[in-house]
Structure 1
Amino acid sequence: MTPRMSPPLGRRELLRMGMTIAAAGFLASCTKSPAGTGAPQRITADSPRVSAVEAARRGASAGVRQVTLTPAPTQIDLAGTPASTWAYGGRVPGQEIRVRQGEILRVQTVNNLPAPTTVHWHGLALRNDMDGVPGLTQPEIPPTGVFDYEFAVPHAGTYWFHPHVGTQIDRGLYAPLIIEDPDEGANYDHELVVILDDWIDGTGTDPDQVLEGLRAKGMPPMDHSMGGMGADPTAPLGMDSGDVTYPYYLINGRVTADPQATTYRAGQRVRLRIINAGGDTAFRISIPGVPMTVTHTDGFPVQAYKADTILLTMGERVDAVVTIPGSSVPLVAVPEGKNGFAQLILRSGDTPVRGRAEDAAMLMKSQMPLDTATLTAAPEVQLQRREPDVTHDVRLAGPTGKYTWTINGKTYDPRDGLPVREGQRVRLRFVNDSMMFHPMHLHGHTFAVRDSNGGFRARKDTVLVAPMKTVQVDFDADNPGQWLTHCHNIYHGESGMMAVVSYVQD
């Protein structure tokens, strides 16, 4: 018989094979201490322990959801103004991925960008080698390269995904990841995903150039009209709310002059899943005259709380249920400490919009917004009280020089880390020694925010650390690997404000 010859490998297959070989060598190089030295060794992303924990997450009959993700250059329309950007599938936000808790998610990522990229699955306690951090958990995906992400989906909730390379997150590369709980009884009629963003890409500059400018010239002058720390309790971020001036603010990819409109019937209940995908901007969210009943923060349920205005920093999410009134109303997002606003119209049948979004935006600035970290986790997800086995101070400082941000006096080094061991209760003390706020995000885990009495508040993965304040969080070290903790202001993170929570073993 004549043997059948395998077809020649194409460019993508060769790149995929090369990336696999590179990944093996790269991950092996991340082990900090050679065996036999007596020093603890890092549990790296390719560790058998990472695979074992992932295997335990997978049910025998778990369904599989397969998706293809294609980051590529595209052009979007900003109310008649074209802007060149990068996006998933040619749209901003990218197409929503929706799966059920316990399923396996497979995402083939085909990089059609002119630059390397990765995908980070924000907020998920997934396996370490799928976390999307170049130089720590995987190599970058080169242009025309392919990377297959596959992991069990552990928790229900509102999540999202974005790159973890340079300032790419401040382009259009983001999309929602919604994980449904099959046992959750819906107490609402509809869902609406609301993604907030600050926009500068393709408007005569891009985020890379913005970062270069900050590094060359330093921070812009502060707006002292906001007042000093403690001068105004309705200004929780203090007098310096960001480093970048944006020409547009978006909701679901639409600017203020061309808002999205969704139509419901009066009396219907809508679950809002709100995500702040901004690079440098915290937002206040409000619906004039319509209270929002907050049910979840960062994917985890809280004891229901009614709020008129919610503060959401970069990377945070909040779920809230609203009842559609008898007239149409705007959902308004105001950038904290900046000019402008974004809006989305909640239509009640064919009724006209009640009130002006501009007036609502002005009123919102004088209100005390809700910080979702102050909410109380629902009983079923509360962390059990336990003294920590290890406590790490995470001191946030900067800028030094022109534009350097540090953790514990150092800029990011993937070879360095805050050591923890599997099974420990870990406490992180985020100590903000700077005059800017920092939304601190921990990869691969959800922590419990501690209150001033030593109790626990909300379960979160991203928490606001206000200027000159300290926030303490506890988590259980149950997901081995190498995990970033960093400021989700992309310009702070890329200028050094990142560190590694490093699982080690003897």
Structure 2
Amino acid sequence: MKRISRRTAITGGFGAAALTLAACGNRTVPAEAGTFPPAPTLTPKAGQGLVTQTLTAAPTTVDLGGRTVSTWAYGESLPGPLIRATAGDLLRITLENRLPEASTIHWHGIRLHNAADGVPGMTQDPVEPDTSFTYEFVVPDPGTYFFHSHVGLQLDRGLYAPLIIDDPDEPGGYDAEWIVTLDDWIDGTGQTPDDVLAGLTGAGASDGGGMDHGDMPMGEGSSDGMDHGEMPMGDEPWGDAGDVAYPHFLINGRIPEAPEIFEAKPGQRVRLRLINASADTIFALALGDHDLSVTHSDGFSVEPVTAKALYLGMGERYDVAVTVKDGMFPLVARPVGKTSGGRGLAVLRTGAGEVPAADVQVRELDGEVLIGSTLEPAEAARLEDRAVDTELELAFQGSMEPYQWAINGAPFGQNTPLSIREGQRVRIIATNQTMMSHPLHVHGHTFALPSGLRKDTVMMAPMESFALDFDADNPGRWAAHCHNAYHQEVGMMTGIDYAS
């Protein structure tokens, strides 16, 4: 079997000096406070729905199902409170920050106006402790979304929650709907996400407990527990898939020893809205003894495909439909490339039976697992056919040792933003020049893959490239980044700027 060393991961032709990083911290706040004017106040139009809510970000303790941890969250549960609206509604959401540091909220996947996007230093000043900020924006597209902090590694605590935008023209046909949010968890278990990052970058002591490199044997001569040796390429398509050894994987905030139980009746048709809110983990998901009919990707409809299991990268969302059978069935989210922490588990109960064990195996995960980027779009979800006006390059680059990640030759703050003009059809040639997988997320827009599939987050396997097309119809300064929170935090991010 071919073996590839992470220590010699391709870095796109730039030297280590070009990737020397500043001390760990919030790399998405390069601007000084007071840079941004107050966000515009929006008034509902006649007949337009208005959704209001206040979210308080604060230190708290949460129960993961018999395991209580100290963390930060919106409220006292994981995920945070659901926000639900209908396409076309105006949302007015206030963040009250009771954390010991600044925060923001990013509305992941929503094509909103720039001032509400929630990227500190790029679209707004950070929301300082004991202050508040009100986000006002219209939600144009129905679908499954989520929101989360865009400061530091706060996503890898508990600062996330689902955001569901209903379609007023939804044909229905479902007897029930479940929101299924996947997460990886380490906060409050002896390490914080910031402790883990310090260990990865060499900025702090680490016992190796916060690091996971799949089935890689440790390299010879390791003296600090952080030599990552060589990684055998297994059957997974994702190469090396993550950096952090999480002790827990959660579904709807619960560990597999105390899973959430979804109730239904045999023969009912159920819609599952799947959200991967994790910071560092790709999941393969399956429902034991059931087929999944995949109907939507990142909010947009696809030509339905029947699958036994599917992958969800960090930041991706999929909707699937299931006709449920009679009995008790495990919904399993297996972390890809991780050897610690088991798996995520929830349970479907439609009849008699025992609750599955925490380590239950489902045969559906032993076969082919659907890769979402291979889906075909529904005709209504396609971009209008038109010529490309400008073509730009975006290359993911970096290595594990030293721990440094970048786009187009430099970390965020040192790389040059991509420049576009309003009205253009833009094509980004995105290339993963590393031996790790990375989820590419673009803010403020949805893009089309060459198949026409619409997405805002796409998993990129090692050395994989995609041509991503979108219409420059939302002026502002936008982020494009890897949605692995640790890679983003050390620099795997750039801007997409509209030229004046």
Return the alpha-carbon distance in structure 2 between the equivalents of residues 120 and 89 of structure 1: 17
Return the alpha-carbon distance in structure 2 between the equivalents of residues 245 and 500 of structure 1: 30
Is 1:251 aligned to 2:251, yes or no? yes
Q: Which residue of 1 aligns with 2:475?
A: 480
Contact 1:135 1:414 in 2 (8 A): no
Query: Could you tell me how far 1:431 is from its partner in structure 2?
Result: 0.7
Q: Which whole-Å deviations, capped at 9, do the CAs of 1:212-260 have from their partners, x for residues lacking one?
A: 11111797666348x999965x41101x121100000000000010000
Contact 2:185 2:250 in 1 (8 A): yes
Query: Could you tell me how far 1:81 is from its partner in structure 2?
Result: 2.5
1:347 maps to which of 346, 349, 354? 349
Q: Which residue of 1 aligns with 2:215?
A: 223
Q: Which residue of 1 aligns with 2:460?
A: 465
Contact 1:136 1:414 in 2 (8 A): no
Contact 1:313 1:439 in 2 (8 A): yes
Return the alpha-carbon distance in structure 2 between the equivalents of residues 357 and 82 of structure 1: 18
Identity %: 47
Question: Pairwise mapping of residues 104-503 of structure 1 onto structure 2 (< 5 A)?
Answer: 104-216=90-202, 223-224=215-216, 232=234, 234-238=235-239, 240-339=240-339, 340-349=342-351, 351-353=352-354, 358-361=359-362, 363-399=363-399, 402-413=402-413, 416-450=416-450, 456-503=451-498
Is 1:97 aligned to 2:97, yes or no? no
Query: Could you tell me how far 1:120 is from its partner in structure 2?
Result: 0.2
Q: Which whole-Å deviations, capped at 9, do the CAs of 1:247-276 have from their partners, x for residues lacking one?
A: 000000000100000211101111000000
Report the residue type matching 1:342 in the other structure: G
Report the residue type matching 1:327 in the other structure: G
Contact 2:420 2:499 in 1 (8 A): yes
Query: Could you tell me how far 1:503 is from its partner in structure 2?
Result: 0.6
Query: Could you tell me how far 1:373 is from its partner in structure 2?
Result: 1.5
Give secondary structure in 1 for the equivalent of 2:361: helix
Return the alpha-carbon distance in structure 2 between the equivalents of residues 89 and 345 of structure 1: 25
Give secondary structure in 2 for the equivalent of 1:376: coil
Return the alpha-carbon distance in structure 2 between the equivalents of residues 405 and 460 of structure 1: 23
1:26 maps to which of 30, 35, 59? 35
Query: Could you tell me how far 1:355 is from its partner in structure 2?
Result: 6.7
Q: Which whole-Å deviations, capped at 9, do the CAs of 1:54-91 have from their partners, x for residues lacking one?
A: 99xx7542121110111111111233222100000121
Report the residue type matching 2:376 in the other structure: T
Contact 2:257 2:358 in 1 (8 A): no
Q: Which whole-Å deviations, capped at 9, do the CAs of 1:304-340 have from their partners, x for residues lacking one?
A: 1111110000000000011110112111000001131
What RMSD over aligned residues (CA atoms) do the two structures have, in Å? 2.4
Query: Could you tell me how far 1:367 is from its partner in structure 2?
Result: 2.2
Contact 2:415 2:494 in 1 (8 A): no
Q: Return the index of the structure with the highest Cα Rg.
A: 1
Return the alpha-carbon distance in structure 2 between the equivalents of residues 323 and 470 of structure 1: 36
Report the residue type matching 2:123 in the other structure: T
Query: Could you tell me how far 1:344 is from its partner in structure 2?
Result: 0.5
Contact 1:405 1:496 in 2 (8 A): yes
CA shift in 2, pair 1:305/1:503, >3 Å: same
Return the alpha-carbon distance in structure 1 between the equivalents of residues 142 and 160 of structure 2: 19
Query: Could you tell me how far 1:296 is from its partner in structure 2?
Result: 0.4
Contact 2:273 2:319 in 1 (8 A): yes
> Going by fraction, where is helix more abundant, 1 or 2?
1
Query: Could you tell me how far 1:395 is from its partner in structure 2?
Result: 0.8
CA shift in 2, pair 1:375/1:191, >3 Å: same
Residues matched between the structures, number: 450
Return the alpha-carbon distance in structure 2 between the equivalents of residues 458 and 212 of structure 1: 38
Give secondary structure in 1 for the equivalent of 2:36: helix
TM-score (norm 1): 0.84
Query: Could you tell me how far 1:194 is from its partner in structure 2?
Result: 0.3
Give unmatched runs, 5+ long, in structure 2: 1-31, 218-228
Q: Which whole-Å deviations, capped at 9, do the CAs of 1:444-503 have from their partners, x for residues lacking one?
A: 1111111xxxxx242100001100111221111111101100000000000110000111
Q: Which whole-Å deviations, capped at 9, do the CAs of 1:350-369 have from their partners, x for residues lacking one?
A: x11487663535x4553221
Q: Which residue of 2 aligns with 1:18?
A: none
Moved over 4 A (4+): 217-222, 227-232, 353-357
Query: Could you tell me how far 1:417 is from its partner in structure 2?
Result: 1.1
Contact 1:302 1:377 in 2 (8 A): yes
Larger relative contact order (Cα-Cα within 8 Å, sequence gap ≥ 6): 2
Return the alpha-carbon distance in structure 1 between the equivalents of residues 88 and 151 of structure 2: 28
TM-score (norm 2): 0.85
Give secondary structure in 2 for the equivalent of 1:242: coil
Return the alpha-carbon distance in structure 1 between the equivalents of residues 373 and 400 of structure 2: 29
Question: Pairwise mapping of residues 11-22 of structure 1 onto structure 2 (< 5 A)?
Answer: none
Contact 1:330 1:353 in 2 (8 A): no
Query: Could you tell me how far 1:386 is from its partner in structure 2?
Result: 2.6
Q: Which residue of 2 aligns with 1:504?
A: 499
Query: Could you tell me how far 1:415 is from its partner in structure 2?
Result: 8.5
Give secondary structure in 2 for the equivalent of 1:315: coil
Return the alpha-carbon distance in structure 2 between the equivalents of residues 187 and 220 of structure 1: 42
Contact 2:156 2:185 in 1 (8 A): yes
